């Protein structure tokens, strides 16, 4: 009986695929590989992996085609591998359901941290955020959803309705990059010219109220040109 997480690595470049698979095995995950979209589809159905690492540039079909198929039937976390030139593809992949992305070339430690976080996010998706008494807690930050209160080290931070809504949304998807467009549509219901600016202004205000300073704990990470990511909650 094998209880290790099974991870499907879809990448056509053999050296990158082997590097990723070796890295995963070294960290006690079980890695299986596919070098094309078609092969990945078959592997996904027969192996039911716990996580998929997906290169977007595949020889037969675009990786996003496979991602859409996965999302039709499951919440299996997907981390997209993209080249630096694929900025638009990366945002598109997040918008259609990728949990995270890693830009090539990437470091081993960062990659393994993303894998761990994506696997944890599926366990957290059934978390208590929407239940009565639901809270988010991470390193001194506490969000109390019922009363819409935000505290840092026990001191209440006064946020506007919009600022609170943005923070609550991010905290309900900890560790996951939410794209500008996803946040904007969730908060304002529409995405028009100037929306990104509006979001950035609100985020700047939240950070200011949080007292974000170099060297201080950052609760919200800015993924430049893509979106924002909330830190992970403390282990319960």
Using the minimum distance from each CB to Ca ion, give the nearer residue, 20 or 168: 20
Using the minimum distance from each CB to Ca ion, give the nearer residue, 55 or 163: 55
In the complex, least distance from residue 81 CB atom to Ca ion, rounded to whole angstroms = 8
In the complex, least distance from residue 49 CB atom to Ca ion, rounded to whole angstroms = 19
Residues of this chain that interact with Ca ion (CB under 5 A) are 12, 55, 57
The CA distance from 102 to 90, in Å, is 9
Buried b (16+ CB within 10 A) or exposed e, 109-121: eebeebbbbbbbb
Question: DSSP string of 51-120?
Answer: EEEEES--SSS-HHHHHHHHHHH----EEEEEETT-HHHHHHHHHTT--EEEEES--HHHHHHHHHHHHH
In the complex, least distance from residue 170 CB atom to Ca ion, rounded to whole angstroms = 31
Using the minimum distance from each CB to Ca ion, give the nearer residue, 35 or 202: 35
In the complex, least distance from residue 75 CB atom to Ca ion, rounded to whole angstroms = 25
The CA distance from 73 to 88, in Å, is 25
In the complex, least distance from residue 23 CB atom to Ca ion, rounded to whole angstroms = 17
Using the minimum distance from each CB to Ca ion, give the nearer residue, 66 or 180: 66
In the complex, least distance from residue 12 CB atom to Ca ion, rounded to whole angstroms = 5
Using the minimum distance from each CB to Ca ion, give the nearer residue, 57 or 97: 57
C-alpha dihedral sign at 91, 106, 109, 15 = positive
SS3 of residue 6 by DSSP: strand
Nearest residue to Ca ion by CB is 57
Using the minimum distance from each CB to Ca ion, give the nearer residue, 12 or 223: 12
The answer to whether the beta carbons of residues 202 and 163 sit under 8 Å apart is yes
- Going by the DSSP 8-state scheme, the letter that residue 4 receives in this structure is S
């Amino acid at each position: 009986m094998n209880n290790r997480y099974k991870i499907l690595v879809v990448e056509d470049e053999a050296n990158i695929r082997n590097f990723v698979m070796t890295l995963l095995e070294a960290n006690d995950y079980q890695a299986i590989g596919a070098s094309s979209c078609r092969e990945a589809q078959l592997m996904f159905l027969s192996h039911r992996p716990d996580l998929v690492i997906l290169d977007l540039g595949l020889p037969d079909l675009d990786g996003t085609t496979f991602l859409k198929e996965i999302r039709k039937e499951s919440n299996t976390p997907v981390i997209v591998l993209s080249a630096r030139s694929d900025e638009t593809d990366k945002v598109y992949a997040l918008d259609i359901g990728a949990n995270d992305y890693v830009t090539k070339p990437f470091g081993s430690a960062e990659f393994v941290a993303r894998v761990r976080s994506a696997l944890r996010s599926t366990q957290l998706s059934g978390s208590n955020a929407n239940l009565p008494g639901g809270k988010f807690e991470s390193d001194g930050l506490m969000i109390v959803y019922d009363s819409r209160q935000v505290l840092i080290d026990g001191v209440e931070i006064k946020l506007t309705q919009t600022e609170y809504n943005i923070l609550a949304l991010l905290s309900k998807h900890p560790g996951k990059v939410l794209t500008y467009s996803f946040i904007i549509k969730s908060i304002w219901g529409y995405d028009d010219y100037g929306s990104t600016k509006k979001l950035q202004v609100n985020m700047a205000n939240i950070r200011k109220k949080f007292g974000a300073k170099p060297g201080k704990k950052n609760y919200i990470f800015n993924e430049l040109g893509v979106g924002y990511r909330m830190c992970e909650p403390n282990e319960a």
